[in-house]
Structure 1
Amino acid sequence: MNIEGNIVRVKKSSEELFNFFTKLENYEQLMPENTQKFEVDGDSFIFGLKGMPEIRLVMKEKTEFSNVTLGAASSKLPFTLASDIKEISENESEVTLKFNGDFNPMMAMMVKKPLTKFIETLTENIAKL
């Protein structure tokens, strides 16, 4: 299952955005208002949204100034969340969030709507940076 967020323009260089996304504590600024838990632990963080199970994300991959990919710490629900960064000018970049999950059809049907909303919220909060 793939979900791609809207492309958002941010008044930051690709280097600034890359550095933002590689500091896991910064993801707390992007989380929805209904976040009940957010804790950074080394190269991972755990977050919990109201009415949802807690999820631990681990830093999986970094491509300098263009991509930061987080992945699920649990193999029960394998997925990744990538932040693709494209420099527009010295002080402006575009960001696209891409969610890729390997779920069975029943699970995909149940989580698609809340995940799409979650990606939209993260994208809206990135635009405010």
Structure 2
Amino acid sequence: MNIEGNSVNVKKSSKEIFEFLTNLSNFEQLMPENTEKFEVDGESFIFGLKGMPEIRLVMKEKTEYSNVTLGAASSKLPFTLAADINEVSDNESNVQLKFESSFNPMMAMMVKKPLTKFIETLTENIEKL
């Protein structure tokens, strides 16, 4: 299952966006309002949304100023969440979030709508930076 968020322009350089996203504690600013738990632990963070199980994301890959990829800490539900960053000008960047998973069809059907909403919320909050 793949979900692509909207591509948004942010009034920050690609370097600023990259540094913001590689500092995992900054993800708390991007989370939805119904976040009940958010804790950073080294190269990972755990978050919990109201009515949903807690999820731990681990830093998987960083390509300086162009990509930050997080992945599931658990191999039971493997997925990645990538932020692709493209520089528009010295003080403007374009960011797009991409979610990829190998969920079985039943699981994919159950989580597609809430995950799409989650990606939309993260994207909206990135755009406000």
Alignment TM-score, normalising by the size of structure 2 = 1.00
Distance 1:35 1:101 in 2: 22
Q: 1:1-129 alignment to 2 at 5 Å?
A: 1-129=1-129
Unaligned residue ranges in structure 2 (runs of 5+) = none
Where does the alignment leave 5 or more consecutive residues of structure 1 unmatched? none
User: Which whole-Å deviations, capped at 9, do the CAs of 1:73-103 have from their partners, x for residues lacking one?
Assistant: 0000000000000000000000000000110
Q: Structure 1: which 4+ aligned runs deviate by more than 4 Å? A: none
What is the CA RMSD across the aligned residues, in angstroms? 0.3
Which secondary structure does the structure 2 equivalent of 1:113 belong to? helix
**Separation in 1, partners of 2:85, 2:77:** 26
CA distance in 1, matches of 2:125, 2:13: 17
Amino acid at match of 2:45: F
1:96 maps to amino acid? Q
- The amino acid across from 1:9 in the alignment is N
- Structure 2 distance, partners of 1:125, 1:16, is 15
Q: Which amino acid aligns with 1:116?
A: T
Report how far residue 17 of structure 1 moved. Answer: 0.3
How many residues end up aligned between the 2 structures?
129
Q: Give TM-score, length-normalised by structure 1.
A: 1.00
Q: Tell me by how many angstroms 1:124 deviates.
A: 0.3
Q: Distance in 2 between matches of 1:70 and 1:30?
A: 14
Structure 1 residues 37-62: Cα deviation after superposition (integer angstroms, max 9, x where no partner): 00000000000000000000000000
- TM superposition shift of 1:3: 0.1
Identity %: 83
